[in-house]
């Protein structure tokens, strides 16, 4: 996993949105996609509102590496599947941060059907 400083966690975790891009096999960066993000403990998590078949999500998992921008932080990251033990905390982070947008919207990135 990517090692985060306390400042990076605070800034990224507090940002309304995050931009994410994966690297192509030739080492170039794909275009950034703007998404929501949740912080749980000392890690940053992202989920696809349109499920695992969303293009950016498939490419991120296939590449395994990418770059994020949020809260004035820009950093290379590793994309990896989280363990089942963190999903409840990630759901809680998304709810705490985004529930003001309504359950219909937050529900696109939370709950058992969005975890895998």
Task: Tell me, letter by letter, the H, E, C secondary structure of the chain.
Answer: CCCCCHHHHHHHHHCCCEEEEEECCCCCECCCEEECEEEECCEEEECCCCCCCCHHHHHHHHHCEEEEEECCEEEEEECCCCCHHHHHHHHHHHHHHHHHHCHHHHCCCCCHHHCC
Residue 78: how many other CB atoms lie within 10 Å: 10
How far are the Cα atoms of 18, 29, 60, 66 from residue 24, in angstroms, in the given order?
A: 20, 6, 9, 9
For position 52, what pLDDT does the model report? 86
Q: Write down the mean pLDDT value for the chain.
A: 92
Q: With a threshold of 0.75, does the pTM exceed it?
A: yes
pLDDT exceeds 70 at position 113: no
For position 104, what pLDDT does the model report? 86
For position 2, what pLDDT does the model report? 65
For position 114, what pLDDT does the model report? 61
Mean pLDDT of 13-17: 95
Q: Where are the domains of the chain?
A: 6-107
Mean pLDDT of 7-20: 96
Give 48-95 pLDDT, tens digit per residue.
Answer: 988 888 999 999 999 999 999 999 999 999 999 898 899 999 999 999
The span from the CA of 107 to the CA of 115, in Å, is 11
Second CATH level (architecture) for the domain 6-107: Roll (2.30)
Reading the block at residue 58, the tokens are 């498939």
């Amino acid at each position: 996993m990517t090692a985060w400083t306390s400042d990076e966690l605070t800034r990224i975790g507090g940002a309304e949105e995050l931009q994410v891009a994966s690297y192509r096999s030739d080492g170039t960066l794909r275009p950034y996609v703007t998404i929501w993000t949740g912080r749980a403990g000392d890690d940053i998590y992202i989920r696809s509102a349109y499920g695992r078949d969303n293009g950016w999500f498939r490419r991120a998992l296939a590449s395994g590496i990418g770059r994020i921008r949020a809260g004035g932080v820009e950093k290379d990251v590793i994309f990896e599947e989280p363990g089942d033990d963190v999903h409840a905390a990630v759901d809680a982070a998304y709810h705490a941060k985004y529930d003001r947008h309504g359950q219909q919207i937050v529900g696109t990135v939370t709950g058992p059907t969005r975890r895998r």
